[in-house]
């Protein structure tokens, strides 16, 4: 009788263990923990990326801090009124910059009167390139309609001389900050010393 009892005994099943004898519950628990940590890291990275974007690429940082509200003061009252009265067609814009910009030396500022006239519907961003080399020697921030930049400084010290250059006005949508078109003006840079 005691032999029957021994023969009928089956080994107890290993509940919660896989074929290698590892505890499947702790592996499942470890997998969930890793997934939670990965999600938390992704959330933190997303928040940091949003903060960096807001600090460096926001609309407030796009606009030129040297711009002055209003029209350039060299204009007569009749010229100012003519610009205010003119109806600018959709998609069209006017540009305004001094045709000759004079610098005392290559590291000093010169009076450029870069202007975004009141009738324009776009924000303007302006860069100036030397015609001979194509080198960009000035780049403004965004300039809202009815504002101007009086003085500019070049990005590098030019030797004394006369330089032919092109000022390109980039028309920027004020909501999306995407370029909508551009217009260019030939200008002369005179570096006196």
Domain count, the chain: 2
Same domain, 82 and 152: yes
Same domain, 78 and 138: yes
For residue 139, give the nearest of 112, 108, 99 by alpha carbon: 112
Same domain, 53 and 115: no
Same domain, 90 and 132: yes
The predicted pLDDT at position 123 comes to: 95
Final residue of a structural domain among 33, 57, 81: 57
Same domain, 151 and 89: yes
For 20-70, what is each residue's pLDDT tens digit?
544 555 566 677 788 787 787 878 887 877 666 665 555 667 788 888 888
Backbone CA torsion sign across 38, 42, 45, 51: negative
% of the chain at pLDDT higher than 90: 47
* Residue 141 lies in domain: 70-191
Report the SS3 class of residue 102: strand
Give dist(CA 63, CA 125) in Å, integer.
9
Same domain, 39 and 74: no
Burial grade of 171 (CB within 10 A; 0-12, 13-18, 19 or more):
buried
Residue 13 falls inside a structural domain: no
Contact 143, 125 (CB under 8 A): yes
Same domain, 34 and 99: no
């Amino acid at each position: 009788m005691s032999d029957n009892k021994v023969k009928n005994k089956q080994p107890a099943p290993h509940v919660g263990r896989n074929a290698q004898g590892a505890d499947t519950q702790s592996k499942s628990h470890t997998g969930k923990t890793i997934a939670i940590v990965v999600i938390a890291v992704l959330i933190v990275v997303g928040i940091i990326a949003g903060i960096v974007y807001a600090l460096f690429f926001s609309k407030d940082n796009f606009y030129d801090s040297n711009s002055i509200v209003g029209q350039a003061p060299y204009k007569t009252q009749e010229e100012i009124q003519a610009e205010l009265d003119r109806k600018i067609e959709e998609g069209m814009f006017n540009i305004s910059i001094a045709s000759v910009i004079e610098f005392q030396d290559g590291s000093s500022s010169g009076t450029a009167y870069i202007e975004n006239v009141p009738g324009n519907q776009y924000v303007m961003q302006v860069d100036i390139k030397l015609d001979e080399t194509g080198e960009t020697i000035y780049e403004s921030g965004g300039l809202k309609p009815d504002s101007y930049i009086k003085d500019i400084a070049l990005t590098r010290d030019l030797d004394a001389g006369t330089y032919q250059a092109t000022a390109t006005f980039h028309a920027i949508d004020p909501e999306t900050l995407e370029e909508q078109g551009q217009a260019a003006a030939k200008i002369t840079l005179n570096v006196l010393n």
